[in-house]
């Protein structure tokens, strides 16, 4: 036995030396490299040597180089013969070797499809034994491998297969009666820890919702090719076979697969396993975010799954939210889960809403929320299962229920009622619960329709402004309220360009916002003093020493200052204007950048007034103050100076400010309350 062991050890050393040499070669590797390598190390010898490896870095190096070699034309001809060795590698003790197997099973799927297409003159969607075996092995790796990176590689290979093969490939993975679907359902059903179930659900939802050619965009796969190692080249180019598949067909496949049942059951039985329930809810919310990337700057990639789609995929995601509507309503009525569920449900609702709502619809939702909150207060044990179903004498009867249609609008009253429950005047909710409610308001208010719903509900709008600018609550609550107010006022909608028209809402909502802001600022403040003006309140927030709270105040200012009436508040509060327009008033990148973002928003309002542009009703009354020559020049210079006061208005400074603005709107997330920065050009 010793000579065999010595031989394997020597082979491994030689293999590593050869791989190190090839690793220095610029991509792509050529057939000459593959010929020399496989002449020295046929597949049997190669995998026998790898089996003796114990160093994960060594295995990783060989895996990387082998992937590049199998991506050559010669390497692809060797792929079918690699199947037995990949099966052994899939059971190896080292994760790097198992990941190699997962990636190369994806290569086999792509190769099988190309070969079948060439032989049969079809689109390559005829099933063969190699493809069937490879898909079965990938499902096995996905559901049984304990290492998350290995499982992710298997999921990436399956996504690439479906992306290239379109609807026929999706049928082989999710179609009722298919071996792959049966194996996925069985794995989800038998899993008690929740990890495998979430893996399976994530893959199924992504496959059903992904637009053609979109799957696996961040999984090193492009047209079936792991981009970082070049291991696969499909050879056919992107497939268009799935371009005609509709959202309905994909959704029906998902429903018929049996994989929706574990998701809905997990959501329904939230009290039995709260963590699994919230993880499933987050999975659904992330799917909604990925299907509508424009709705959430920076959301893509935040989940680690990184898929990006749109079009029909958005329809699938919205339909899935509709299927889960009863479970969403149940979560909002569960006292144990409602707080944590509110922000996630708010994200789902927002992405299911149309771009804007008729005022009557927003009013009907607000009335239903008020009725649901009153009913919950009377029962004292949670919200009704469906707030649109209230007693005939309830407030919701004031507006026809038929106005409130669709899953998002049917869930919206329950969401707003839950928010009312933690932000009511009783003040008996914990700071953490209030922060969850405010995070939900912030997520909902990012969209135009969501902001309409927030401001149509007077109780929610007042509670939001009071906690942001009025009485002094817990710091966590104050920060959450400031971020939520910024979102509702249109910070995300305005974007890095400070588009006032995108941020400003119809007149009735703007009037509600203005009134609630002034009412909140006119209330009792710290020490019994009364701060009557919003500018004075914001100045007080910026004067305190806690940087996270100042960042939240700057974000709020960056949204509110887009409105002429609030811009006048800034300009006519001398100390606030001085601080905002002075680059030396802040230190640290985040604070400097957000100060500049707020100054840029002020410039958007001031310059619009000078041009005679009106974004909302009544703005003409403020034009003279904002367009005064001294004001214009002062704000212009502050914005041109950049976040640090060193750019001096040159082209480089403007470019730096624009880049900072882009980063801010790509990276910011209300849920994380992260600090970023940015500015707009003057």
Q: Which of 97, 89, 99, 86 is nearest to 157 (CA)?
A: 99
- The CA-to-CA distance between both ends of the chain, in Å, stands at 78
The model's confidence at residue 292, banded by pLDDT at 50, 70 and 90, is low
Average pLDDT for 659-680: 45
The pTM assigned to this predicted structure is: 0.74
pLDDT in tens, 306-349: 333 444 556 677 777 777 888 888 888 888 888 999 999 999 89
pLDDT for 351 equals 86
The better pLDDT of the pair 325, 134 is held by 134
Q: Is the confidence at residue 415, as pLDDT, over 80? A: yes
pLDDT for 314 equals 63
As a whole number, the mean pLDDT across the chain is 79
Q: Say how far apart CA 26 and CA 28 lie, in whole Å.
A: 6
Most confident of 406-420, 424-438, 556-570: 556-570
Instruction: Give the percent of the chain with pLDDT over 70.
Output: 75
Q: Is the confidence at residue 73, as pLDDT, over 70? A: yes
Would you call 5 helix, strand, or coil by DSSP?
helix
Q: Say how far apart CA 567 and CA 602 lie, in whole Å.
A: 6
Average pLDDT for 133-147: 93
Cβ atoms of 67 and 226 closer than 8 Å: yes
Most confident of 15-29, 106-120, 299-313: 15-29
Place of tokens 């106005």: 403
CA distances 350 to 263, 402, 462, 481, Å, are 21, 20, 21, 18
pLDDT for 615 equals 66
Q: Is the confidence at residue 5, as pLDDT, over 70? A: no
pLDDT for 219 equals 34
pLDDT for 559 equals 96
DSSP calls for 536-581? HHHHHHHHSS-HHHHHHHHHHHHHHTTSHHHHHHHHTSHHHHHHHT
pLDDT in tens, 172-206: 999 988 999 999 999 988 877 778 888 898 898 88
Q: Which of 346, 190, 211 is nearest to 291 (CA)?
A: 211
Q: Which residues contact 235 (CB under 8 A, 6 or more apart)?
A: 76, 114
CA distances 254 to 185, 250, 381, Å, are 11, 6, 35
Domains and CATH numbers, the chain: 4-116+130-212+248-269 (1.25.10), 533-546+553-674 (no CATH)
pLDDT for 489 equals 96
pLDDT for 649 equals 43
Lowest mean pLDDT among 224-238, 567-581, 638-652: 224-238
Cβ atoms of 332 and 373 closer than 8 Å: no
What are the tokens at 94?
């080292």
Q: Is the confidence at residue 263, as pLDDT, over 50? A: yes
Q: Say how far apart CA 633 and CA 630 lie, in whole Å.
A: 5
CB-side exposure of 118: number of CA atoms within 13 Å? 9
Residues in the chain: 682
């Amino acid at each position: 036995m010793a000579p065999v062991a010595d031989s394997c050890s020597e082979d491994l050393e030689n293999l590593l030396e050869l791989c190190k040499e090839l690793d220095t070669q610029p991509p792509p590797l050529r057939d000459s490299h593959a010929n020399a390598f496989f002449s020295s190390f046929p597949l049997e010898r190669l995998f026998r040597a790898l089996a003796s490896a114990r160093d994960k870095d060594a295995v990783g190096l060989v895996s990387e180089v082998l992937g590049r070699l199998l991506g050559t034309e010669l390497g692809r001809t060797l792929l079918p013969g690699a199947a037995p060795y990949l099966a052994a590698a899939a059971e190896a003790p080292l994760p790097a070797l198992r990941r190699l197997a997962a990636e190369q099973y994806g290569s086999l799927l792509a190769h099988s499809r190309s070969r079948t297409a060439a032989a049969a003159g079809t689109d390559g969607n005829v099933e063969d034994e190699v493809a069937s075996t490879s898909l079965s092995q990938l499902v096995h790796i996905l559901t049984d491998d304990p290492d998350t990176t290995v499982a992710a590689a298997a999921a990436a290979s399956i996504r690439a297969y479906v992306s290239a093969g379109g609807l026929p490939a999706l049928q082989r993975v999710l179609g009722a009666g298919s071996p792959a679907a049966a194996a996925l359902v069985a794995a989800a059903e038998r899993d008690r820890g929740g990890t495998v179930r979430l893996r399976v659900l994530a893959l199924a939802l992504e496959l059903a919702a992904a637009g053609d050619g979109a799957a696996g965009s961040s999984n090193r796969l492009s047209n079936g090719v792991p981009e970082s190692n070049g291991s696969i080249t499909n050879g056919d180019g992107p497939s268009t076979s799935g371009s005609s598949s509709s959202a309905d067909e994909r959704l029906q496949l998902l429903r018929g697969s049996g994989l929706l049942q574990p998701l809905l059951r997990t959501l329904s039985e939230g009290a039995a396993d709260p963590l699994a329930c919230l993880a499933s809810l987050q999975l659904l919310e992330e799917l909604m975010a990925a299907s509508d990337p424009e709705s959430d700057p920076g959301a893509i990639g935040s989940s680690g799954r990184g898929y990006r789609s749109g079009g029909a995929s958005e329809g699938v995601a919205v339909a899935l939210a509709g299927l889960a509507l009863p479970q969403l309503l149940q979560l909002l009525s569960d006292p144990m889960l409602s707080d944590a569920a509110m922000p996630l449900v708010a994200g789902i609702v927002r992405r299911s809403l149309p771009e804007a709502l008729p005022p009557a619809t927003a009013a009907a939702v607000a009335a239903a929320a008020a009725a649901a909150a009153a009913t919950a207060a009377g029962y004292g044990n949670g919200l009704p299962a469906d707030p649109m179903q209230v007693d005939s004498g309830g407030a919701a009867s004031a507006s026809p229920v038929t106005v409130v249609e669709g899953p998002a609008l049917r869930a919206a009253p329950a969401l707003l009622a839950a928010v009312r429950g933690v932000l009511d005047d009783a003040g008996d909710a914990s700071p953490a619960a209030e922060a969850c409610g405010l995070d939900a308001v912030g997520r909902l208010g990012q969209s135009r329709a969501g902001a309409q719903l927030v401001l149509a509900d007077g109780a929610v709008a007042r509670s939001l402004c009071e906690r942001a600018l009025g009485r002094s609550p817990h710091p966590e609550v104050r920060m959450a309220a400031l971020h939520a107010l910024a979102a509702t006022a249109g910070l995300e909608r305005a974007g890095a360009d400070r588009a006032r028209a995108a941020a400003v809402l119809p007149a009735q909502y703007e009037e509600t916002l203005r009134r609630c802001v002034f009412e909140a600022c006119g209330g009792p403040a710290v020490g019994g003093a009364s701060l009557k003006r919003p500018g004075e309140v914001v100045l007080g927030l910026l004067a305190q020493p806690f940087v996270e709270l100042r960042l939240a105040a700057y974000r709020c200012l960056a949204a509110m200052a887009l409105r002429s009436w609030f811009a006048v508040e800034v300009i006519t509060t001398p100390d606030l204007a001085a601080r905002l327009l002075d680059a030396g008033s802040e230190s640290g990148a985040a604070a400097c950048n957000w100060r500049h973002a707020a100054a840029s928003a002020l410039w958007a309002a001031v310059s619009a007034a000078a041009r005679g542009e009106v974004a909302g009703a009544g703005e003409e009354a403020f034009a003279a103050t904002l367009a005064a020559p001294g004001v214009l020049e002062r704000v212009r210079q502050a914005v041109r100076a950049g976040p640090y006061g060193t750019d001096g208005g040159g082209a480089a400074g403007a470019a730096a400010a624009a880049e900072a603005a882009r980063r801010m709107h790509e990276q910011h997330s209300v849920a994380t309350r992260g600090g970023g920065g940015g500015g707009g050009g003057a």
